[in-house]
Amino acid sequence: MQQLFAEFPPVSKADWLEKILKDLKGKAPSDFDWKVAGGQSVTAFPHLDDMGGALPHPIATGKNDWQICEAFQVGDAAKTNKMALKALEGGADALRFNCTEVPDFEALMNGIDPTIISLHLRGKKMEQPISLLRKLVEYAGANAPQLSGTFCWQGKQAMEILELAEAQLPGFKVLPVHGSAFYEKDETTVAELAKIVQATNDWFAKLTAEGVGVERIAKQVFFTCFIGKNYFLQIAKMRAIRKFWLELQRKWGVENPQPDFIFAQFPITDQSPDPNTNLIQATTQAMSAVIGGVDVLTVLPSDKTSDEAKPTDFSRRMARNVQHILQLESHFDWVADPAAGSYFIENLTERLLDGMRI
């Protein structure tokens, strides 16, 4: 294979710094370092030498597929069904239903084939979250093994939920790491990641103590994450989580490491009162999520500025279209780990990862 740019001699970081020092006229290059919350410092002048002369391997190979998801708070099942059908007709290929009680799945899923989309359930403040999963199995019947998705829940029914999923819903992941619960703002990213580390490790520690093998646990873990507004930091955050997941599996002795699964969305607390600002902001947030390698993404409608706000059909359509442009026009799904090889993002990813290692 022909070596590109072979006629150009390599330039070391020391050579670059010598030139930079002259241009800075007495200022120190470290004055331009980016201070990441938690004491981490990222150089403004990254170089291949910072990585030992060789770039890390891409986190994944192949394509960068992700699913376009739309989320709904389930109240009236029939009304929610109508909105879900509009979302699917408008190009969504994943649905998330946030439930505070077990819904009527016949009404909720009327006209929807759950075997050709991914389905993501969240049991919010439910005393018996497993009842939601049992009802889904009952509704799906013989099609249950063909369903794919996630079940986000909190409580003390891990063994029951795990065994039900393994027996009836093999395409579901049911051990959530609630990264979104740890998000406060971009400035607290290091602390956010530290809590994600602890929560992930806790699943292995608690379930192995109950006799569950690490291979079974690894197949069921997934991450929920909020995507903040800092473009580069959020790309690096997703990449750091993905690298950490592989490292943690090795530490626990998982012989067949499972790929990461990240369900990403935007925090309402980051929304501006101005819908137009939110729509512009949503584009760069979605780019951060996709470049970082998430598996499912929900873009908040621009007029969803509070928990009580009711998005219009138009704002929901525009939120979906942000992702359609990234997929169908910009082809962000064609390249796996598109940030790989960027000295700055690789360096930032490693700095965040340093704070996650246990």
Question: Which residues have C-beta within 8 Å of that of residue 82, sequence separation ≥ 6?
Answer: none
**Bridge-partner residues for 177, per DSSP?**
223
CB 56 within 8 A of CB 347: no
Q: How far apart are CA 231 and CA 296, in angstroms?
A: 18
Name residues whose C-beta falls within 8 Å of residue 236's C-beta, 6 or more positions apart in sequence.
Answer: 292, 339, 345, 348, 349, 351, 352
* pLDDT given for residue 229 in this prediction: 94
Predicted local confidence at residue 355, as pLDDT: 82
- Could you please report the per-residue DSSP string of 102-170? ---HHHHTTT--TTSSEEEEEETT-S-THHHHHHHHHHHGGGGGG--EEEE--SS-HHHHHHHHHHH-T
pTM: 0.93
Token pair 């939601």: residue: 132
| Cβ–Cβ under 8 Å, residues 329 and 335 | no
Q: Are strands 67-73 and 94-99 parallel, antiparallel or unpaired?
A: parallel
The pLDDT of residue 70: 97
Side-chain-facing half-sphere of 25: CA atoms under 13 Å:
0
CA distances from 11 to 19, 43, 48, 144 (A): 11, 18, 10, 58
Domain ranges of the chain: 67-354
Query: How do the pLDDT tens digits run along the chain, 358 residues long?
Result: 566 667 788 889 889 888 888 898 888 888 888 887 666 778 888 888 888 888 788 888 778 899 999 999 999 999 999 999 999 999 999 999 999 999 999 999 999 999 999 999 999 888 899 999 999 999 999 999 999 999 999 988 999 999 999 999 999 999 999 999 999 888 889 899 999 999 999 999 999 999 999 999 999 999 999 999 999 999 999 999 999 999 999 999 999 999 999 999 999 999 999 999 999 999 999 999 999 999 999 999 999 988 888 999 999 999 999 999 999 999 999 988 999 989 999 999 988 998 887 6
Contacts (Cβ under 8 Å, ≥6 apart) of 192: 179, 182, 183, 184, 237
Instruction: Report CA-CA distances (Å) from 274 to 120, 199, 228, 261, 270.
Output: 29, 35, 17, 32, 12
> Residue 358's pLDDT is what?
67
Q: Which of 271, 261, 215 is nearest to 238 (CA)?
A: 261
Q: Please give the pLDDT value at position 24.
A: 87
**What local confidence, expressed as pLDDT, does residue 56 receive?**
80
CATH T-level assignment (fold) for domain 67-354: TIM Barrel (3.20.20)
Q: pLDDT at position 35, please? A: 80
Provide the greatest CA pair distance for the chain: 73
Beta bridge partners of 178: 224
Check residue 356 and give its pLDDT.
85
User: Distance of alpha carbon 94 from its chain centroid, rounded?
Assistant: 14
pLDDT at 186: 80
